[in-house]
Amino acid sequence: MSFPPAAPAQQPQPLQPRPKILDFITGNANKLAEVRAILGDVPGLDLQSRNVDGFEIQGTIEEIARDKASRAASAVNGPVLTEDTALEFQALKGLPGPYIKYFLQALGHDGLNKMLAAYEDKTAFAVCTFAYCAGPGSDPILFQGRCQGKIVPPRGPPVFAGWDAVFEFEDGQTYAEMEKEKKNLISHRGKALAKLKAWLAGGELEP
């Protein structure tokens, strides 16, 4: 299935009803497991998954997230949840940012480290943005989590494909070295999902 053009967005709808059935747009089984581990006990929510192919625009993290959710909602003609991840290097003024997937594919873990070889500052910010769109024409709602760490040579088992092995959290462990329960609690994804979970349970939107 391919994305059709995004439907025109209406005005923000902060009082949107919470969905009972929600399609999480992903083909990544590990990512789905992390999301289900956190959202699985939301009362009355049936979280399903669907893989929808489509292209991503270039822009800010928020622009990409809104566009992706709008297109996915049009594709499935119903409520969807999408996720976008970014990795911002402080020394490079935010790069690779939302394009980290392509940098990782081209350079690998060693290449990400080499990008910062000339800089003393290895600080990085992991950013996760979940976007909920109620359906075609609805304005997506964003739930964002950020986590500070630094880029290090890869450590930990290659359980989760991505940059987990090179992102060291403030406690000295890379994401790849952490137990799943701990990572789900402190990670950028965990923080974003905590906001989403509170909203799905009837809470107010958090900044």
CATH number of the domain residue 29 falls in: 3.90.950.10
User: Could you tell me which residues are annotated as the binding site for ITP?
Assistant: 26-31, 68, 84-85, 183, 188-189
User: Could you tell me which residues are annotated as the binding site?
Assistant: 26-31, 56, 68, 84-85, 183, 188-189
3-state secondary structure 102-140: HHHHHHHHHHHHHHCCCCCCCEEEEEEEEEEECCCCCCC
Can you give the pLDDT at residue 21? 87
Q: What is the pLDDT of residues 36-83, one digit of tens each?
A: 888 888 888 899 989 887 778 899 999 999 999 999 999 999 999 999
State how many domains the chain has.
1
* Rounded percentage of the chain residues whose pLDDT exceeds 90: 65
Residue 161, both tokens: 């494909």
With respect to residue 6, please indicate whether it lies within any of the assigned structural domains: no
User: Could you tell me which residues are annotated as the binding site for Mg(2+)?
Assistant: 56, 84
Domain encompassing residue 50: 21-200
Q: What is the pLDDT of residues 85-137, one digit of tens each?
A: 999 999 999 999 999 999 999 999 999 999 999 999 999 999 999 999 999 99
Could you report how far apart the first and last alpha carbons of the chain are, in Å?
A: 33
Burial class (CB in 10 A: 0-12, 13-18, 19+), 95: middle
Residue 75, both tokens: 């594709």
With respect to residue 9, please indicate whether it lies within any of the assigned structural domains: no
Can you give the pLDDT at residue 51? 86
Site of tokens 């935010």: 94
With respect to residue 186, please indicate whether it lies within any of the assigned structural domains: yes
